[in-house]
Amino acid sequence: MRLTALLLLASAPALAQPRPPRTPGDTLKSPVVGENGVVTFQLYAPKATEVSLRTEGPAPFANQKLVRNEQGVWSATDTVPADLYIYWYDVDGVPVADPRNNATRLNLSTVRSLLEVPGAASDFFAERDVPHGQVATVWYRSTVLGMPRRMQIYTPPGYATSGARYPVFYLLHGAGDDDRSWLMAGRANFILDNLIAAGKAKPMIVVMPNGSVSRAPGTRDPYPESFAQEIVPYVERNFRVLPGRDARAIAGLSMGGGHTLAIALPNLDRYAYVGVFSSGFLGPGGADSVAKAYQGAMSDPRINRLKLLWLATGKEDFILPTTKATLAAFDRNHVRYTYKESEGGHTWPNWRAYLYEFAPQLFR
């Protein structure tokens, strides 16, 4: 197989400026995913003295050194269990997204590369041959934050043609991330596609806003206000959502779990399903201190009319004490909840799995 003649014709002399000489780096493939999870990483770096693999979260190839050949191509081959990995190269101390990989994971400050290894364990978030929802990128002006903002909104298969109204699930990201993260690293759209196709989740709208806010020290986080006054009204004005608390869910990971509690607990008449992934009461003074701010909500009998208050954290997650302190505050206030302690840490494999477990429990 080769790319089309048109492609070769149009791309070869595409730049008017003088071209640098051709190198193996122009046509290298990386990563190459072969049979049985054998993956080869390759980087053309003729003058580098040391190239290593780096990952976000655990991976068999983490910190492995690449070996250089005569042409200046560095490579490493490993057998990698099925999953989605976030990786980059360390080239003599410079963190480098794989220049030959156009699958990226961007956050607020940097660019990384994605490696998807297919297999049974990655099937639940893979792009499979099932009906797919659409993801709308929407831009709006936030008056509360005083800046342009963007969010991502998943509509389930059939939304465009059904004319029906759907329940809505607000899904919040963690610190340092943005509205794209639940798609790029979380594969939320494919997880929902696969659950809906299997009849395991109700067709629903999933709203992924941008929760990262820059603000002056000592000032209040304006995000919950922007959420209530701008994000929810935008969604309800532009998408066919079912009204009422029983058709409204909210969950988030890490900082987004803190946001979830800050948004949902003072609004028990508005949210019936609440998920807190790898999080708890976050903020200065620790969970016990923050819990005091929510004393009113925790003493409100409506809290036990939530259809679901679901928390999950990994056994190796640094935030586990915060989660436990939050659960203890719930216990002191006789708040009913469901808690799952998974393997692993503060990483995307857990958050993808939590979403896969949480979404089927919604709108039942």
C-beta closer to a copy of itself: residue 272 or 349: 349
Under 8 Å between Cβ of 268 and 300:
yes
SS3 call for 136: strand
Q: Among 82, 106, 293, 328, which residue sits at the site for a copy of itself (rule: CB under 8 A)?
A: 106
CA 203 to chain centre: 20
Q: Among 67, 108, 164, 198, which residue sits at the site for a copy of itself (rule: CB under 8 A)?
A: 108
Q: Which of 299, 295, 302, 256 is nearest to 275 (CA)?
A: 256
Element (H, E) at 322: helix 320-332
What is the sign, positive or negative, of the torsion defined by CA atoms of 73, 74, 78, 83? Answer: negative
| Stretch 189-208 residues interacting with a copy of itself (CB under 8 A) | 189, 193
146 part of the interface to a copy of itself, by CB under 8 A: no
Q: Which of 238, 260, 255 is nearest to 169 (CA)?
A: 260
| Stretch 205-224 residues interacting with a copy of itself (CB under 8 A) | 212-217, 221
Site stretch for a copy of itself (CB under 8 A), options 57-65, 195-203, 241-249, 298-306: 57-65
| Stretch 62-81 residues interacting with a copy of itself (CB under 8 A) | 62, 72
- Orientation of helix 348-358 relative to helix 188-197, angle to 10°: 30
How many Cα atoms sit within 13 Å of 87 on the Cβ side? 32
Under 8 Å between Cβ of 264 and 183:
no
Most distant CA atoms of the chain, gap in Å: 72
Could you give the string, one character per residue 276-315, with x where binding to a copy of itself holds by CB under 8 A and - elsewhere? Answer: ---x--xxx-------------------------------
Count Cβ atoms within 10 A of the Cβ of residue 275 and give its class: 0-12 exposed, 13-18 middle, 19 or more buried.
buried
Q: Among 79, 134, 304, 338, which residue sits at the site for a copy of itself (rule: CB under 8 A)?
A: 134
Under 8 Å between Cβ of 275 and 340:
no
Under 8 Å between Cβ of 171 and 355:
yes
The count of chain residues that interact with a copy of itself, using the rule CB under 8 A, is: 100
How far apart, in whole angstroms, are the C-alpha atoms of residue 153 and residue 235? 8
| Stretch 218-257 residues interacting with a copy of itself (CB under 8 A) | 221, 237-239, 254-255
C-beta closer to a copy of itself: residue 14 or 120: 14
Q: Among 33, 64, 77, 140, which residue sits at the site for a copy of itself (rule: CB under 8 A)?
A: 140
Q: Min. distance of Cβ 274 from a copy of itself in angstroms?
A: 18
269 part of the interface to a copy of itself, by CB under 8 A: no
Q: Among 96, 115, 117, 265, which residue sits at the site for a copy of itself (rule: CB under 8 A)?
A: 96
136 part of the interface to a copy of itself, by CB under 8 A: yes
Could you give the string, one character per residue 153-192, with x where binding to a copy of itself holds by CB under 8 A and - elsewhere? Answer: -------xx------------xxx------------x---
Position 154: which residue type?
Y
Residue with tokens 């997650």: 317
Q: Min. distance of Cβ 213 from a copy of itself in angstroms?
A: 6
Q: Among 25, 60, 266, 360, which residue sits at the site for a copy of itself (rule: CB under 8 A)?
A: 25
Q: Min. distance of Cβ 314 from a copy of itself in angstroms?
A: 8
Under 8 Å between Cβ of 98 and 88:
yes
Q: Among 34, 46, 233, 243, which residue sits at the site for a copy of itself (rule: CB under 8 A)?
A: 46
